[in-house]
Structure 1
Amino acid sequence: MTSKKRPDWVLAAGHQLHLTGIHFDAIRLRDVRGEAVLHHLGTLTDGEPGPVVREIAGGRWTYFLIPPGSSKDYDWPSGARCFGPAARHQYVGIPAPDGNTYPLSWRCGAPEEGEFVDAELLYGLVTAQLAPADG
């Protein structure tokens, strides 16, 4: 039986800010838009979309963690905030897998080593979600 290994950047308890562009890049969406994208992502990945951090206070942000450096391959639409190597000194809060991590939590469980959201699939869903409605 293989044991699952948690990435070094996921603490055993609490939560910690991590500089983006090193261990991961992140795409941030606000409130219901983040939940809608996550719903579609979950449907397309048989319920395993990859690591997604949810902030349940303030803007109710959803952070989709993609491979480090991959955010620069896409022109993310307005409404999606990119945290990656092109931006300087941007941090994302990473919660522990269990325990008191308020206001952060893993939306679909903490990641295993090397597990990320598929950046190309996420880009397609974010672009569709944030596209202006035809009038």
Structure 2
Amino acid sequence: MNTRSDLDWLPESGVQVRKAGVRFDAVRLDGDRGREVADRLARMTGGDPGPVLETASGRRCVYFLVPPGSTAHLAWPPEVTRLTSGPDRECFIPIPALDDMTWPFAWRYRPTAPDRFVHTLLLRTALHSAE
């Protein structure tokens, strides 16, 4: 099992926010569509799609953590929200601890390695095959 020293961007407890563009960016989808895409992506990758987290309240968002800068210059469906940072924009991503009470945030697919993130092009494929 991973420890905090393996994944230094994870909080030790609770939920903390991380600035997009430093270690990763995120692609957010709301509701059941986000969960369907996450599960489709997991099937495409043999059960290891990279880190995907979800919320259990509100819009029930699903966040796919992707390499920083990897969502730029790509066409995305209108229901996708890209969480990136740049000269005129700062975004922050909620990150729950691996093993702590973090409701309403939880890992749908836990991170497995320090620099292992969701593959952006595979995510786009999963999005388009879900339409």
Cα distance in 1 for residues equivalent to 2:16 and 2:112: 15
**Bigger-Rg structure (1/2):** 1
1:74 counterpart SS class? coil
Cα distance in 2 for residues equivalent to 1:27 and 1:6: 23
Aligned length: 128
Q: Which residues of 2 match residues 86-125 of structure 1 at below 5 A?
A: 86=86, 88-125=89-126
Check conservation: 1:42, 1:48, Cα contact below 8 A.
yes
Provide the residue aligned with 1:9 in structure 2.
Answer: 9
Provide the residue aligned with 1:21 in structure 2.
Answer: 21
Task: Specify the code of the residue in structure 2 equivalent to 1:29.
Answer: L
Cα distance in 2 for residues equivalent to 1:77 and 1:85: 20
Cα distance in 1 for residues equivalent to 2:47 and 2:124: 18
**Offset, 1:121:** 0.4
Give ranges in structure 2 of 5+ residues lacking alignment.
Answer: none
Cα distance in 2 for residues equivalent to 1:127 and 1:59: 21
**Offset, 1:109:** 1.8
Q: Which runs of 4+ in 1 moved over 6 A?
A: none
1:16 counterpart SS class? strand
Cα distance in 2 for residues equivalent to 1:91 and 1:61: 14
Check conservation: 2:19, 2:91, Cα contact below 8 A.
yes
Cα distance in 1 for residues equivalent to 2:26 and 2:76: 11
Give ranges in structure 1 of 5+ residues lacking alignment.
Answer: none
Cα distance in 2 for residues equivalent to 1:88 and 1:121: 26
Cα distance in 2 for residues equivalent to 1:51 and 1:127: 20
